[in-house]
Amino acid sequence: MDHSVKAKFISTVTILIMVVAFASCGPRTEPVTPGRLVGFQPDGYAVESAEVVLGGKIDGLAAEDSVILKMVFLRNQSYVEMSVAQFDGSLDSTSFWYSWTREVAGPARSAFSAFPLIYGELSGVYGESYVKAWFQGKWLYVFRGEKAQSEDIAEQFKDYKRAVERSIGL
């Protein structure tokens, strides 16, 4: 690659990262919080438990500077665990994402699982269960259980969160 093309590429990427970082760090009111999402009741599932914790753990890994909604859903003999975390900033969620994916999926899979500060995604069988997870900005979503139920609840949750956002005018 030509030196001037390489320099332009590096400059462009650096500017893009700086813009995203500054945009995500600015003062912003975020009316949707994990506590407002505790009413989620997916069709066809019973809610076994629901709790909102400040700075708790996800899969045993401390999620500092966050508020986490943890719910467990039952259908027949299977269950799905859901953890939805809102971090103080995109840098916090990105840092947690890489630590968590390293623990769950290993360093190689973790390295290529995200666009830092913007979005990351992971799905597959890890350990003894299927995991569907993603982060977007300050938010992190983890669904763990059987594949079909985890996918179903994740899709229903996306719809629910969008409806909550619309209801408060976002």
User: Against a cut of 0.85, is the pTM above it?
Assistant: no
Residue 47 belongs to domain with CATH number: 3.30.200.100
In a domain, 22, yes or no: no
Q: What's the pLDDT score for residue 10?
A: 61
What domain count does the chain have? Answer: 1
In this structure, are residues 60 and 83 in contact, taking their beta carbons and an 8 Å threshold? no
In a domain, 9, yes or no: no
In a domain, 98, yes or no: yes
In a domain, 45, yes or no: yes
In this structure, are residues 145 and 76 in contact, taking their beta carbons and an 8 Å threshold? no
Instruction: Give percent of the chain with pLDDT exceeding 70.
Output: 82
d(CA 76, CA 73): 10
By residue range, what is the domain housing residue 111?
Answer: 29-167
Is 128's pLDDT higher than 60?
Answer: yes
Is 3's pLDDT higher than 80?
Answer: no
CA–CA–CA angle 83, 89, 95 (5° rounding): 70
In a domain, 13, yes or no: no
The mean of the pLDDT values for the chain is 87
In a domain, 2, yes or no: no
pLDDT tens digit sequence for 9-35: 565 545 545 444 554 554 455 578 999
Read off the pLDDT of each residue in 99-103 and give the average, rounded to a whole number.
Answer: 96
Q: What's the pLDDT score for residue 105?
A: 94
Instruction: Give percent of the chain with pLDDT exceeding 90.
Output: 74
Is 62's pLDDT higher than 80?
Answer: yes
Q: What's the pLDDT score for residue 51?
A: 97
Tokens (6 digits) for 59: 């899969």
Q: Which residues sit opposite 46 in a β-bridge?
A: 74
In a domain, 23, yes or no: no
Read off the pLDDT of each residue in 98-104 and give the average, rounded to a whole number.
Answer: 96
In this structure, are residues 81 and 104 in contact, taking their beta carbons and an 8 Å threshold? no
pLDDT tens digit sequence for 71-94: 999 999 899 999 999 999 999 999
pLDDT confidence bin for 45, thresholds 50/70/90: very high
In a domain, 6, yes or no: no
